[in-house]
Chains A and B, each alone.
Chain A
Amino acid sequence: MPTAVARFREVLGARVLEHPTERLLYGRDGSIAEGACGLVLLCETADEVSACVRIAAGAGLPVVPRGSGTGLCGGAVPLDDAVVLSVARMRRILSVDPATPCAWVEPGVLNLDVTAAVAHLGLHYAPDPSSQAACSIGGNVATNAGGPHCLSAGVTSQHVLGLELVLADGARVRLGGEAPDPPGYDLRGFVVGGEGTLGVVTAVCVRLTRDPPAVRTMLIDFAAIADAGGCVGRVIADGVIPAAMEMMDRRMVQAVEAFTGAGLPLAAAAVLLVELDGTPAEVAEQEEVVVRVARGHRARGIRVAADAAERALLWKARKSAFGAVARVAPNYYLHDCVVPRTRLVEILEAIERIGARHDLVIMNVFHAGDGNLHPLIAFDRRDPDQVARVLAAGRDIIEACVAVGGVLSGEHGIGLEKRDFMPLTFTEAGLRAQGCAREAFDPHGGMNPRKVLPEASRCGERVLDRDALPPGTWL
């Protein structure tokens, strides 16, 4: 690597990090995986990204693109001393077009900063992952991130009009943009969710959404988790797609209430946070259905946020759930399966049984409206026996979700964490075809290697059933 390091320094000067402590920091992301980072490149422009990717390709060095490093599936964790290319310093909002409305932003811009920059125009950026104060738009594109309000607004792919990409050989290409439906394949749509394996995104044209004229936020209290789950399914089946419909179970309500003091009902078995938006008439029409269905499912109380401040408080309670878990245990492992909405109640019961079987505390806070579960296993990483049980329970949860027709991930991605579970839902031919598509972007496999697909998911090669992670990886 010495020659390559010298060449990286020609491009980036002191923004090449080699110190073991720095490499240690960049060897992790928001997941529980630990990797091995060879070198860190802090790029500030697309030209720098292009030059660095070209140097790395020439030297045969694998490159792992990184945004804020908040990802939960190990997608930004480098393996085998790979080079981490951070775009966190590319934080400019390049242009705002209030009429389309859309904005071109650099990949390091934080999700919430997009909305902050356009709020005075009555606009916002719709996808709102819980980590939105810390996660980057580039990372959102990589994982096709979701969030509570993606229930009606759709996930990141529906909010990316165009992007600029540095391909594995350093070439730059602009895919899509303000003009819809360019001829040829929808490469823009395919790159969203590519987990940094198809190139490095250096600019994103995000669709902005007008603030709705009316919003209604309700907290509904249930005495039984089956009632809450049944209510979710019935609201959807009765033709109402709320802006958001989130569920928290009792353990999570208690942790969050201790943390935020938002006034959540501590005796509830589960609460639903339902938000409706649209015209005043739309909101009224939907509210009538939600209230009727909730009462039909024995709701004990319906608290309607009286003003923006109360609404913000309820959302703060929801979005600080993961921070609140720190009061329960030093570590947590957050899962991300999706099941058909008609199977919510039975899967919640199955998860409860899995927790009991492995003697673990499992808490639930999730996007109930689209069936996107987030079972959270609280544990203490210092106890190897607990860790083993956490991993075993995780596998059981994934298998239970798949067994009812679910998918491996709703919004976090596959990365390293679920890579070896891919054969649970895809055939060998399917995985190979995915490998073919990846190779069309990156023929030599230098972009974020060993992520997403089980190794050897290549055109024409046999897919291995399971393969060992490299030494030093902690998963």
Chain B
Amino acid sequence: MALTAPRTVRPAGREDVAELLREATAGGRTVRVVGGGTASRRGRPAPPPDLVLSTAGLDRVLVHEPADLTVTVEAGADAAELQERLARAGQSWAQADDRPGATVGGLLATAASGRRRLRHGALRDAVLEMVLCTGDGRLVRSGGRTVKGVAGYDLHRLAVGALGTLGVIVEVTLKLWPRPTASAWFGARGDTAAMAALGEDVRRRLHRPAAILLGPGRLDVELVGPAADVVAPPGLVPSDGPDPPAAPGRVEAGVPPTALPAFAAGLARLGLAFQAQLGVGTCAVGVAAPDEVAAVRGAAIALGGHAQVVDGPEALRADPWGPPPPGVEVMRRLRDAFDPGHVLNPGLFVGDAGPAAR
């Protein structure tokens, strides 16, 4: 194992990425792919890679077609800068998370949907076209630069959320949405169960709210649309919107949306910080110790869901995913086909055997 930090390379074009990965596969050298580094504490603890591949050199916005609501951008582009540019045209990548410092490719590799998912859907549904460089250096394009298309297999659907274990996302075309005329947050404070009930009431009462976020003792609702629609729902007052839960580590749970209030109630009893997306079924939970990870996962599984550790020190990540997901054998074959040398992102493939199985 190298005692010095692994060398970082910053390819300036897709051909450089391909050559680098061809050589890495030929030489059996492992490669960690890094965008903005905002999701770097993720996956099973693994030995340091032989090489770090930074996408910082691939940061161009290639084509923005405002009249078609599409943008083609390189993976290393800063997502916030892209959003600013799109906002000047009255548009947005509506499904994306807004964590500072993240790149377009990093958000896609981690399938980081944003807080408006209830209204706009999941991040993966906004990807129209992708250029992926496989682990052995093949440049592969899938999809097309139109807002609709069913030509061939959507390899980009596999790459979104794959944590860079099938290939390096090099370039994508995204479907954009017009920005709403108005938007605002509204909040309420009280008993968590009462807040959950209030949130469910908002969900039934309003047509397509942007977000209904439940936290310990608080509810936050974002409304977007014409100004006439952006008014405080009964029981809520204007607010600044919530911050994500602060803790040494973070678990992302997914449960059936109908089970989310019960899941949140359990988290409140455990005294954990959390932010649940009512109507969606996702919940970010702050954790500080391995037994808290186990408790959160146990509760999620009992309700028909799952929980993965998405950020935290190594001690919290001995088992980041829990039980193998259905179809893991297919996933292994996909990994073998797209990264035959298993050089990409050690520790980040869900099907890798954990320490207990070694």
- Which interface class (under 10, 10 to 19, 20 to 34, 35 or more) fits A? 35 or more
Contacting residue for B207 out of A97, A212, A233, A370, CB 8 A:
A212
Query: Chain B interface: which size bin?
Result: 35 or more
Contact indicator A410/B149 (Cβ below 8 Å): yes
Contact of A186 among B149, B161, B229 (CB under 8 A): B161
Is A342 touching B68 in the complex (CB atoms < 8 A)?
yes
Q: Which residues of chain B are within 8 angstroms of A452 by Cβ–Cβ distance?
A: 152-153
Q: How far is the CA of A367 from the CA of B288 in the complex (A)?
A: 51
**Contact partners of B177 in chain A: CB under 8 A:** 241
Mask: chain B, 263-283; 1 = CB below 8 Å from A; 0 = not: 000000000000000001110
Closest beta carbon of chain A to B209's beta carbon, Å: 11
Q: Does A472 contact B (CB under 8 A)?
A: no
Min CB–CB distance B83 → chain A (angstroms): 16
Q: Is the CB of B337 within 8 A of A179?
A: no
Q: How far is the CA of A339 from the CA of B147 in the complex (A)?
A: 8
B148 x A411 contact (CB < 8 A): yes
**Interfacial chain A residues near B87, Cβ < 8 Å:** none
Question: Which B137-176 residues sit within 8 Å CB-CB of chain A?
Answer: 138-155, 157-158, 160-162, 166
| A380→B280 CA distance, assembly (Å) | 51
Residues of B within 8 Å of A281, CB to CB, are 225-226, 228-229
Closest chain A residue to B125 by CB distance? Answer: A158
The interface stretch among A16-24, A56-64, A187-195, A318-326 is A187-195
Question: Which residues of A have CB within 8 Å of B145?
Answer: 340, 405, 407
Confirm or deny: B65 has a beta carbon within 8 angstroms of a beta carbon on chain A. yes
Residue of B nearest to A424 (CB): B151
Contact A183 B70 (CB under 8 A): no
- Which residues from 142 to 193 on chain A have a C-beta closer than 8 Å to any C-beta of chain B? 143-144, 146, 150, 154-155, 157-158, 167, 173-175, 177-187, 189-190, 193
Which stretch from A40-48, A82-90, A291-299, A427-435 is at the chain B interface?
Answer: A427-435
CB pair B254–A182 under 8 Å, yes or no, is yes
Q: Is the C-beta of B305 less than 8 angstroms from some C-beta in chain A?
A: yes
Most A CB contacts (10 A, CB to CB) among B66, B150, B161 go to B150
- Evaluate contact between A285 and B146: CB separation under 8 angstroms: no
Q: Chain A contacts of B229 at CB under 8 A? A: 279, 281-282
Taken together as a complex, chains A and B put the C-alpha atoms of A173 and B143 apart, in Å, by: 26
- Could you tell me if A99 and B331 are in contact, using CB atoms closer than 8 angstroms? no
Q: Is B186 part of the binding interface, using a Cβ–Cβ cutoff of 8 Å?
A: no
Give Cα A302 to B72, complex, Å: 36
- CB of A437 within 8 Å of the partner chain: yes
A340 to B134, CA, bound (A): 28
Q: Which of A184, A190, A212, A278 has the most CB of B within 10 A?
A: A184
Chain B neighbourhood of A407, CB < 8 A: 143-146, 149, 151
A434 x B257 contact (CB < 8 A): no
| Distance between Cα atoms of A422 and B151 in the complex (Å) | 8
Contact of A440 among B160, B306, B333 (CB under 8 A): B333
- Complex Cα distance, B231 from A329, in Å, reads 56
| A385–B145 alpha-carbon span in the complex (Å) | 36
Docked-complex contact B338 and A436, CB < 8 angstroms: yes
Contact of B150 among A180, A212, A410 (CB under 8 A): A410
- 20 A–B pairs (Cβ distance < 8 Å), ordered by A: A157-B157, A175-B326, A178-B304, A180-B122, A181-B111, A181-B113, A186-B161, A190-B153, A237-B67, A239-B90, A281-B226, A281-B229, A342-B65, A372-B148, A407-B144, A407-B151, A433-B138, A436-B337, A437-B158, A437-B338
> Which 7 residue pairs are nearest across A and B when measured between Cβ atoms?
A239-B178, A407-B144, A178-B256, A440-B333, A436-B337, A237-B67, A179-B305
Q: Which residues of A contact B (CB under 8 A)?
A: 97, 99-100, 143-144, 146, 150, 154-155, 157-158, 167, 173-175, 177-187, 189-190, 193-194, 210, 212-213, 233, 236-237, 239-241, 278-279, 281-282, 284-285, 338-342, 367, 370-372, 405-414, 418, 422, 425-427, 429-434, 436-441, 443, 452-453, 459
Besides A178-B281, A179-B305, 18 new A-B residue pairs in contact (Cβ under 8 A), listed by A number = A173-B326, A177-B256, A178-B257, A190-B153, A190-B158, A239-B179, A279-B225, A407-B143, A407-B144, A408-B149, A409-B151, A410-B146, A414-B150, A433-B140, A437-B155, A438-B153, A440-B330, A453-B152
Chain B residues proximal to chain A, CB less than 8 Å: 65-70, 90-91, 111, 113, 121-122, 124-125, 132, 134, 138-155, 157-158, 160-162, 166, 177-179, 181, 207-208, 225-226, 228-229, 252, 254-258, 280-282, 300, 304-306, 308, 321-322, 325-328, 330-331, 333-334, 336-338, 350-351
